[in-house]
Amino acid sequence: MHIVQQLAANIVGQVLAGRNMNQLLSEALRKHAAFSPQERGALQDLSYGTLRYYGQLARILEGLLNKPLQDSRLRDLLLVALYQLQYSKAASHAVVDHAVRASKKINAAGGGLVNAVLRNFLRRQMELVERATQTDEGRYSYPQWWVAAVQAQYPEQAGAILDAGNQHPPMTLRVNRRRTTSSQYQAQLAALGIEARAVVPDALCLQTPLGVEKLPGFFDGDVSVQDAGAQYAATLLDAREGMRVLDACAAPGGKSAHLLESADIELLALDKDEQRLERVRENLQRLQLQATLLCGDAALPEDWWDGKVFDRILADVPCSASGVVRRHPDIKWLRRPSDIESFAAQQEQILQALWPLLARGGKLLYATCSVFARENQQVVSAFLARHKDAKQIIISVHDLDNGQLVPNDRHDGFFYALLQKNA
């Protein structure tokens, strides 16, 4: 287990230096292909968990050290061990023993320090945690600028939104309506002893996450894994039989597939990343659905558009992903305030570029997985001020407050704005 601790510490350190956690985890698991399922699961838990609670753990560690550690690798290892001691069910003596063994691989003289720090934490745990949570970063485990932005925008909901982003995400299913119904599939699950509850708009949330290989009919295309919040897109876009539809930033393909499951449409699934576009192709093949796939940049339609207008456009634009941090906790520590402005500029460019591709009377659904208004309604409002041929259709749907979904126990955070071009 000390090897897993050491690997997790290395992943945490590299994320804090700017790298993507999913990529780092994939690399580590490829290198250690002989790991058991338990070891693979432990590596993911330690990496995700440490970054999920990094703000608090860093404050705790500060309270345990007289001065900052010179060796950042030991610091990362201590953060992983503190996560285990504070949040996991692992025996404390085993955590300390493994951390001491791992520290000796990093720094031969580090064992004594690691042992002393962790045992000091166990003696003073309640005091140290209480002191750490006196600051916003220690209380919520987000950067201070992020906490301040959420508190300013959602003064009454801020605590709940921030706390929701630190929970383990639900596993939610989208039933392929071409093959079965949600109620029928829920009955299939119940017959297998798998508990699921129906959540809006038409999703099934599993009581306990499980591997897709255990889902009846998954490989035949009966069902897909997709957050309930993401499932609003197909419903709101209202694509109907025979319509020509563009999914402008399609990868990994969940929303494209949902659109095709909902109606017989002519769909162009566009993405500028060829590798990610391959995931769209794989998803559609499993679901036995057909679309035209094209590698291209939504902001540069002159490079790929054939001149034929679309009846519907889904613009699921790049964003901070601030609404899905419970699935990607590294995002909290990779983002900077300046990134929000950069994303907003990119979003405005895509929206501007796609508008001429929409038929008169057609609808464009602007979507993000962000909770920050600067990427959401502010972008839409600025666009509307420049385009007199556009109007925003009021969305009146369960849970959507002026198009904004905030993360809770049913779904992640998303934003939707439905725009219609004057006939």
CA dist 372 and 319 (Å) reads 10
φ and ψ at residue 393, rounded to 5 degrees: -85, 125
Verify whether residue 369 is a known catalytic residue: yes
Angle among Cα 150, 402, 174 to the nearest 5 degrees reads: 90
| HEC per residue, 188-243 | HHHHCCCCEEEECCCEEEECCCCCHHHCCCHHHCCEEECCCCCCHHHHHHCCCCCC
Q: Rounded CA gap, 256 and 240, in Å?
A: 14
List Cβ neighbours of 282 (8 Å cut-off, separation of 6 or more).
253
d(CA 370, CA 117): 38
Between CA 12 and CA 97 the distance in angstroms is 20
Residue 378 in contact with residue 344, Cβ under 8 Å?
Answer: yes
CB under 8 Å to 136, separation ≥6 — which residues?
142, 144, 147, 148
The residue behind tokens 């001149």 is: 307
The position carrying tokens 């989208």 is 174
Give the whole-angstrom CA distance, residue 254 versus residue 265.
16
What tokens were used for 72?
A: 């950042």
Number of CB atoms found within 10 A of residue 276's CB: 15
Q: Which residue has the tokens 């285990």?
A: 84
Q: What's the 3-state SS for 332-357?
A: HHHCCHHHHHHHHHHHHHHHHHHHHH
> Which one from 205, 249, 319, 369 is the annotated catalytic residue?
369
11 vs 84: CA distance, rounded Å: 16
Q: Which residues contact 335 (CB under 8 A, 6 or more apart)?
A: 143, 146, 320, 322
Q: Is residue 16 within 8 Å of residue 55, measured between CB atoms?
A: no
Residue at token pair 């129906």 = 198
Active site residues: 369
